[in-house]
Amino acid sequence: MKLLEQIAVATNLREGAEGIRDILASVAQNQKLSLKNLANTVYMPLPVVAAVRRELERRNILVRDKGICLTQEGLKLVSDLGIQSSLVSEDHLISIFKDIKYKMPEVNVTLDQAFASPETSFRRVTYANQYDAISGRNVILIGDDDLTSIAIGLNSKKKGKPKRLVVLDIDPRVIDLITSTSAEFSLDIECYLHDLKCPLPPNLKYNFSTVFTDPPYTLSGLELFLARASEALEEGSGKQGYLSFGNKDPDTDHEVFKIISQYGFVPKEIIENFNTYDGGTIIGNISRMIRIVSGTQRAILPSYFNRPIYTGDNNISQRSYVCSLCGEKYIVGKNCSHIHIEALKQAGCSECGNTIFNLVAKIQEGKNDR
């Protein structure tokens, strides 16, 4: 929207066009705000917001009437931008979502999959809506085994639809489920089966204003996913990211925030215990939400990324199991016939077909299993 950029330039706003949109969204969502409350809501200094208000009044978008209000023209602008003026309750949608989620196959732990609870997926949508990150926006999900795209689609069926809703995932089972659900519920989700180690498809580059991602638990995984997030976002500052990532020890976390900074992002809010997972014991079934925004500077990743990104890739531990019925022994782990216990369970015991196994011993433990 050229107009927002013009106003950002006219007022010399460091937050850019996104800052103007923030101000408009806040006015749309709060009736007759005072200038001070508006400034507090958008976290900008009062004189700066006053200058933007003046400019918006001059262009007949805002008017003063016992507080700051949108004119008819302003209401049309807000509507054209897709800004949602009030939030939709998602409670009645969670049961539909649970039915869809029920069709999801077992987690593939080699991909660091751990399915977020349905409440978590909707919590993400509600949280992002608070920051005007979905309605009327181009939204992309960098990996989506949590089916957050479906939660977004269901939540915005009646109003506040994203302009474009895109999912990338490496797991064909995830892409299949989202594709069929999107068709069934007319959610308009574009799905791409894609390995993020390869560059983004050209039609997805520099095109989004909001990104969701819940990367693998490793630093290299975080780096790859954030690099692709940065690549997907439009240029300019204030584009939003919703990054779910577990707590780490201080030195590892130091690296986490260096990576966030390196790819041009700034953490704006960190909320502990935001995400809960059905699986995911590696990260203790919970992780934090780090809301990030882009700055104007971005780093670029070399096109192809060849480092290992999943926890298991760095983990050389193997485990020995016995079948609980016939006592047949199995070694599970990297370079074994079964990569993890889920794979062994799925295959069943080759002697008796039983699917219950008891852990006997860890054979070797890698240093990087955190």
Between residues 179 and 247, which has the closer beta carbon with respect to a second copy? 247
Between residues 284 and 353, which has the closer beta carbon with respect to a second copy? 284
Q: Could you give phi then psi for residue 332, rounded to 5 degrees? A: -120, 135
Give the shortest CB-251-to-a second copy separation in angstroms: 5
Give the shortest CB-258-to-a second copy separation in angstroms: 6
Give the shortest CB-300-to-a second copy separation in angstroms: 16
Q: Are strands 210-213 and 189-193 parallel, antiparallel or unpaired?
A: unpaired
Token couple for 6: 């013009």
Between residues 153 and 280, which has the closer beta carbon with respect to a second copy? 280
Between residues 34 and 180, which has the closer beta carbon with respect to a second copy? 34
DSSP code for 85? S
Cβ pair 366, 316 in contact under 8 A: yes
146 sits in the region (left: phi over 0; alpha: psi -120 to 50; else beta) called alpha
SS3 82: coil
160 sits in the region (left: phi over 0; alpha: psi -120 to 50; else beta) called left
Give the shortest CB-130-to-a second copy separation in angstroms: 11
Q: Pick the closest to residue 142 from 339, 315, 292 (CA basis).
A: 292
Between residues 220 and 294, which has the closer beta carbon with respect to a second copy? 294
Instruction: Please give the angle made by the CA atoms of 106, 109 and 112, to the nearest 5 degrees.
Output: 120
User: What's the chain's length in residues?
Assistant: 370
- Containing 270, the helix (H) or strand (E) segment is strand 265-276
Q: Which residue intervals of the chain are DSSP H helices?
A: 2-10, 16-29, 35-42, 46-58, 72-81, 91-101, 118-130, 148-155, 172-185, 219-232, 250-262, 341-347
Q: Which residues bind a second copy (CB under 8 A)?
A: 14-15, 19, 36, 39-40, 43-48, 237-238, 246-247, 249-254, 256-258, 260-261, 264, 266-273, 281-286, 293-297, 369-370
Between residues 123 and 194, which has the closer beta carbon with respect to a second copy? 123
Between residues 173 and 268, which has the closer beta carbon with respect to a second copy? 268
SS3 208: strand
Token couple for 123: 């919590």
Q: Could you give phi then psi for residue 272, rounded to 5 degrees? A: -70, 150
Between residues 126 and 261, which has the closer beta carbon with respect to a second copy? 261
Between residues 199 and 279, which has the closer beta carbon with respect to a second copy? 279
DSSP code for 296? S
| 274 Cβ neighbours under 8 A, 6+ residues apart | 120, 123, 127, 244, 287, 288, 289
Give the shortest CB-118-to-a second copy separation in angstroms: 20
Between residues 43 and 72, which has the closer beta carbon with respect to a second copy? 43
Give the shortest CB-89-to-a second copy separation in angstroms: 23
